[in-house]
Amino acid sequence: MNTQTWHSIGEASLYCGLPESTLRYYEDVGIITPIARDPESGHRAYTDDDLQALLIISCLSATGMPLAKMKEYMANRGRGREGAPTEIDLLRDQKRKLNEERRFLTAREEYVNLKIKFWQAVCDGDDAEASRIGALASQKVKEISHWHDNHQDVETQTAAKLTGSASSAKKAKQKATAG
């Protein structure tokens, strides 16, 4: 006899590390399949399988995967070999994005290291070294700014694809630039 274990939304939240509000939202937008309800209280009742799905979603979310991609990934999970190429593409795309973010963070760390050296040279009264390091730091700022500008362009293109609207893309770019 196979007995089903049921979990409250609070237990599910603790299990996967996502807030209850996020679990509700993910269900509303279709990332999570509809959750069974307790017939007496109407509260969500999560199964062990639901908890496993939530762990996957939590991991995808932690990588910064966009909601639409998480939804696509979760929809393909049950397709086995047929869905595998899509899953691979989604994960490879996310890996590329994470590698790009890592390069950006490395550049920012390099900038911080240069500024530490700059201020140490200032502290030591070594104006020539401070000037040399200051020029390197300025170059690093340009590199970071270039990455940021390219990243904003990608976000604008993504917004246009999702909405299918050039005006929405313009608004998204204006919003990104303002922030």
Q: Which helix (H) or strand (E) holds 92?
A: helix 84-124
Query: Residues 174, 103, 144, 69: what is their CA dihedral angle, to the nearest 10 degrees?
Result: 0
- Angle at the Cα of 123 (from 118 to 125), degrees rounded to 5? 95
CA 51, CA 6: separation in Å to the nearest integer? 10
pTM of the model: 0.69
Q: Are 47 and 36 in contact (CB under 8 A)?
A: yes
Residue 44 β-bridge partners:
37
Q: Are 44 and 85 in contact (CB under 8 A)?
A: no
Token pair belonging to 16: 């996967």
Report pLDDT for 147: 78
CA 17, CA 35: separation in Å to the nearest integer? 18
Q: Write phi, then psi, for 7 (nearest 5 degrees).
A: -130, 145
DSSP string of 101-117, one letter each residue: HHHHHHHHHHHHHHHHH
Domain boundaries defined on the chain: 9-82, 100-178
Report pLDDT for 161: 46
Report pLDDT for 156: 52
CATH number corresponding to 9-82: 1.10.1660.10
Comparing CA positions, the residue from 98, 68, 73 lying closest to residue 88 is 73
pLDDT in tens, the chain (179 residues): 566 889 999 999 999 999 999 999 999 999 999 999 999 999 999 999 999 999 999 999 999 999 999 999 999 988 999 999 999 999 999 999 999 999 999 999 999 999 999 999 999 999 999 999 999 999 999 988 887 677 655 545 544 444 444 444 445 445 444 44
In this structure, the number of other CB atoms found within 10 A of the CB of residue 57 comes to: 22
